[in-house]
């Protein structure tokens, strides 16, 4: 443990201290104890390591893996070293020693900044997914993500936030294009954001909204359209992306430039992590709000003639009778309305509670499955019947 005060403590090798109003976490002592692997420098890179070198290689992997809890800038290089652990070569040892030297020469520390909560809005969870398609030396693809806990959105393009999760990992499934890699990384990042939101809810009692930023503009475009993708292996992921975007689980989805995508350095060999390091050390991320909120752009819009609403978004001055007329004008949905009437759904209200009651019936109509999210409204329409039970 550390000294007997409230400003500094050492817990499991991590030094946690207050620096002004900022909480700083570092592992300086463990970094100083790192040492490179000693071997014969005259050996060529293609030579396989002997059993002794393999043991030293894997032992150093364990030491460096613990340092990853604060040294986020080496996530990609460490992932590549792990991939070579089964049968490392002299070239892998040289690359590993280079990673050790970079950590010892330029260690980083995590900074957790105070957030402005004076306006009473909820803190946000901001995720940056990214992927590279077959850029690794073995021809594999790489995915990465960085997740921040940030202040509520304002009109400024910049915001203050703290890094809470990061990851760089080889994609083990088959990826046939860059879109597949980006989409796979996106859904993994969204799942992690949901996990972080659950942890934050246990701590603060708040359900933080999830905001995602990606440099793949085609993912943002696909989330707002109903076109069926040509690649069969991504149809289910595209549908999940659209469902989560329309339902409100993804509160905001926007495109950012590659220079502003903070996870870009964790997927490629030749990209430095200076932008990510600066964002963590200063607590400020630039150009996060370049585009308007996707919720603002979806107001009063329709997809295929049907209202595309989302959580807590009122329907304005559109009446219940108007929507009934629009539904009757859809020939493909005529059978859906008939089925609803046959099950005594005349008092049906398009709310989440009522929708769950008849979901099992409508879900059986697979031909209309892509229309189902459009029927989920946050509030009853004006003039609509109520629910007696």
Q: pLDDT by residue (tens digit) across 325-356?
A: 555 555 545 455 544 444 433 333 343 334 44
Distance of alpha carbon 191 from alpha carbon 302, whole angstroms: 28
331 and 289 in a single domain? The answer is: no
Secondary structure element (H or E) that encloses residue 285, with its range:
strand 284-285
Print the domain residue range for 51. 30-105
181 and 207 in a single domain? The answer is: yes
Distance of alpha carbon 98 from alpha carbon 78, whole angstroms: 11
pLDDT, position 3: 56
311 and 289 in a single domain? The answer is: no
pLDDT, position 287: 73
Domain boundary among 105, 138, 161: 105
Q: 307: Cβ–Cβ under 8 A, 6 or more apart, which residues? A: 315, 318, 323, 374, 377
120 torsion bin: left (phi>0), alpha (psi -120 to 50), beta (else): left
234-235-237 Cα angle (round to 5): 65
287 and 221 in a single domain? The answer is: yes
With respect to residue 3, please indicate whether it lies within any of the assigned structural domains: no
Q: Give the number of C-alpha atoms closer than 13 A to the C-alpha of residue 348, restricted to the C-beta side.
A: 22
308 and 184 in a single domain? The answer is: no
Distance of alpha carbon 127 from alpha carbon 145, whole angstroms: 7
With respect to residue 389, please indicate whether it lies within any of the assigned structural domains: no
83 and 154 in a single domain? The answer is: no
224 and 364 in a single domain? The answer is: no
The domain total for the chain is 3
Mean pLDDT taken over the chain: 76
SS3 label, residue 189? helix
Q: Which of 212-216, 305-309, 367-371 has the highest mean pLDDT?
A: 212-216
44 and 122 in a single domain? The answer is: no
Q: Per residue in 271-286, pLDDT tens?
A: 888 889 988 988 887 7
Domain boundary among 105, 123, 141: 105
- 11 vs 339, higher pLDDT: 11
215 and 284 in a single domain? The answer is: yes
Distance of alpha carbon 174 from alpha carbon 184, whole angstroms: 11
pLDDT at 231 over 90: no
Find the mean pLDDT for residues 212-234: 80
Quickly state the pLDDT bin for 295 (edges 50, 70, 90). low
CA 174 to chain centre: 21
221 and 312 in a single domain? The answer is: no
Distance of alpha carbon 111 from alpha carbon 114, whole angstroms: 10
Distance of alpha carbon 77 from alpha carbon 110, whole angstroms: 19
pLDDT, position 298: 55
Q: Which of 69-73, 232-236, 352-356 has the highest mean pLDDT?
A: 69-73
CA 384 to chain centre: 38
With respect to residue 6, please indicate whether it lies within any of the assigned structural domains: no
Extract the tokens encoding 190.
């969204």
250 and 366 in a single domain? The answer is: no
pLDDT, position 32: 87
157 and 143 in a single domain? The answer is: yes
Quickly state the pLDDT bin for 318 (edges 50, 70, 90). very low
Find the CATH number of the domain harbouring 227: 3.30.420.10
């Amino acid at each position: 443990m550390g000294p007997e005060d409230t400003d500094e403590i050492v817990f499991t090798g991590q030094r946690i201290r207050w620096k002004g109003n900022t909480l700083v976490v570092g592992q300086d002592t463990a970094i100083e104890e790192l040492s490179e692997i000693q071997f014969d420098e005259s050996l060529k890179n293609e030579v396989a390591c002997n059993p002794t070198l393999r043991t030293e290689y894997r032992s150093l992997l364990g030491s460096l893996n613990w340092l990853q809890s604060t040294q986020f800038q080496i996530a990609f290089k460490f992932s590549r070293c792990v991939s070579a652990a089964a049968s490392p070569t002299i070239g892998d040892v040289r690359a590993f020693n280079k990673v050790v030297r970079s950590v010892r020469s330029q260690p980083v520390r995590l900074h957790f900044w105070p957030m402005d909560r004076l306006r009473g809005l909820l803190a946000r969870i901001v995720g940056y997914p990214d992927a590279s398609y077959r850029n690794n030396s073995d021809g594999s693809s790489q995915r990465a993500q960085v997740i921040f806990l940030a202040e509520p959105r304002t009109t400024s393009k910049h915001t203050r936030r703290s890094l809470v999760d990061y990851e760089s990992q080889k994609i083990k499934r088959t990826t046939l294009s860059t879109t597949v890699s980006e989409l796979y990384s996106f859904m993994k990042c969204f799942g992690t954001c949901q996990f972080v939101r659950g942890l934050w809810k246990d701590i603060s009692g708040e359900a933080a909204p999830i905001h995602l930023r990606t440099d793949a503009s085609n993912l943002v475009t696909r989330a707002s359209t109903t076109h069926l993708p040509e690649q069969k292996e991504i149809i289910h992921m595209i549908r999940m992306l659209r469902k989560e975007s329309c339902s409100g689980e993804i509160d905001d989805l926007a495109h950012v430039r590659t220079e502003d995508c903070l996870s870009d350095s964790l997927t490629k060999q030749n990209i430095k992590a200076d932008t990510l390091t600066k964002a963590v050390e200063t607590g400020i991320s630039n150009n996060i709000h370049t585009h308007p909120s996707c919720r603002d752009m979806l107001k009063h819009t329709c997809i295929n003639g049907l209202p595309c609403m989302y959580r807590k978004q009122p329907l304005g001055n559109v009446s219940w009778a108007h929507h009934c007329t629009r539904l009757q004008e859809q020939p493909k949905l005529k059978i859906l309305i008939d089925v609803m009437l046959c099950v005594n759904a005349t008092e049906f209200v398009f709310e989440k509670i009522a929708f769950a009651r008849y979901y099992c019936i409508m879900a059986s109509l697979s031909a209309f499955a892509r229309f189902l999210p459009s029927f989920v409204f946050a509030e009853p329409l004006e003039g609509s019947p109520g629910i007696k039970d």
